[in-house]
Amino acid sequence: MCRTRIALMLLLFVPLSGFGAEPEVADVFVPKADGFASIRIPSVVVSKKGTLLAFAEGRAANADQAKNKIVLKRSTDGGKSWGKVAVVAEDGDKALNNPCAVVEREGGQVLLVYQSYPAGVGERSGKIQPGYDGDLVVRNWLITSDDDGMTWTKPRDITKETKREKIVTTVAGGPGVGIQLRHGKHAGRILMPFNEGPFGVWNIYAVYSDDKGKTWKMGDAAPGGLIDAGKDKKTSTVNEAQFAELKDGSIRFNVRRWAGKAVRKTCVSEDGGVSWSKVEDVPELVDPGCMGSVLRYTDPADRAQSRILFSGPQSTKRENGMVFVSYDEGKTWPTKRVLCKDSFAYSCLTALQDGTIGCLYEAEGTSKIVFARFTLDWLEEKVAPLKPAPAFSLPVIDLNDQKERQVLVDREKGQYLGHPTTLLLEDGKTILCVYPKGRGRGPILYKRSEDGGKTWSDRLPTPKNWETSLETPTMG
């Protein structure tokens, strides 16, 4: 007798772990818990060691100039938890504003630029004076850290290198982050984005260093940033600024809208930030008047698709925070996803060393600053491919030698009887069995069991058309 083994193979399809997982969100700065009336204006970078450094303004009141200090929190686990708040810069009753950080690629030094405002004097007051001397001028400062943000140098005044002496009153770096160029003849150059007043009549420009922050120079203001406001007055279309390097070493500004159409503004520099093309609209990126973030995420130089990311509120108010992807160097923004549908104000993007993306943003009406971490797969809404789990077999039972479990249904000497088909009826006991006599030449035979197959009837009558058979019969 021929032994037959039957095995059933079952394939299970399961998603890859973590593929396109929803963003993880953690509180970073909570004013009351961290000892301030208000904490605003986020900036975040990843150190060369992989530590997240989150900066902000710790304010004595909910106002732009309120004895602000520059504060820092560190995370060594990818943003899941954060250390205690540390003050890295303070200057008595003066307000320190607009943290803007960058990590020097070769040595890992962290550079942080910020401004100081005169004590008790706001940028909207009209009291700020141009020039470098006196108590009513805005100054630019630089501090650095060589130990992963644990300690910082004393502030260095870089105002004369980074601020024009005449006309300019208010000035702001970023806020957010600076960049260091990778491509072209200016590779290695560190740049910080700036805007310069008077208030409401801003222009945007770049401040840059070719010696890792030791000395600084200013570029020209980008043309086209001012429009006619009537009565022989001008107003600005631009304000707080960020930029990203393009694949050919050019630089693209992405700028908050002040006046004009309620969309982001942009222009490009092809000479390392010295001069700029005319400011123009970015039609796809809505802007209610809010700082936004732009980040070079993947670079063709690394054999990757070109991706530049943008984050900002997409509404008439500071809400519905979205992250966009551009694949053509910031010209268009076809991919987008909502990160936070509720209150969403200032934000700052960063890329972690494991390839995930981080966004430090103001949430719940600027009542706190949180950090969201997500994957590119989530952002691009990629679906996990179906991957079969390892197959397994059901146990095999060999009935060949188990005589007690074998029942003879039919036998005829010298005749082939085989290929039976059975059908169990609804009562759970009655079984019908049909099978051919001979190999495709004889009639179809029919038997019946009333006790679940333990005993069988004699051959039963069949229709006339069952007298010949060319194939194995079936029932259903």
Q: Are 108 and 120 in contact (CB under 8 A)?
A: no
Q: How many helices (H) and strands (E) does the chain have?
A: 3, 34
Q: Are 43 and 371 in contact (CB under 8 A)?
A: no
What's the Cα-to-Cα distance from 296 to each of 126, 313, 458, rounded to whole Å?
A: 37, 19, 83
Active site residue 346: yes
Kindly report the three-state secondary structure assignment for every residue of 379-400. HCCCCCCCEECCCEECCCCCCC
Cβ–Cβ contacts within 10 Å for residue 29, how many?
Answer: 27
Question: Among 222, 225, 194, which Cα is nearest to 208's?
Answer: 194
For 333: left if phi > 0, alpha if psi spans -120 to 50, otherwise beta; the answer is beta
Strand partners, 251: 245, 269
227: which 2 tokens? 């429009």
Cβ–Cβ contacts within 10 Å for residue 158, how many?
Answer: 19
Active site residue 64: yes
Question: Among 65, 53, 54, which Cα is nearest to 115's?
Answer: 65
Q: Which residues contact 7 (CB under 8 A, 6 or more apart)?
A: 393, 394, 396
Strands (DSSP E) along 94-232, which ranges?
95-103, 110-117, 139-145, 156-157, 171-173, 176-177, 179-180, 190-196, 203-209, 217-218, 226-230
Residue of 57, 64, 245, 362 marked catalytic = 64
Residue of 123, 240, 287, 329 marked catalytic = 240
Residue of 117, 205, 208, 346 marked catalytic = 346
Q: Are 252 and 268 in contact (CB under 8 A)?
A: yes
3-class DSSP assignment, residue 31: helix
Q: Residues with catalytic annotation?
A: 64, 240, 346
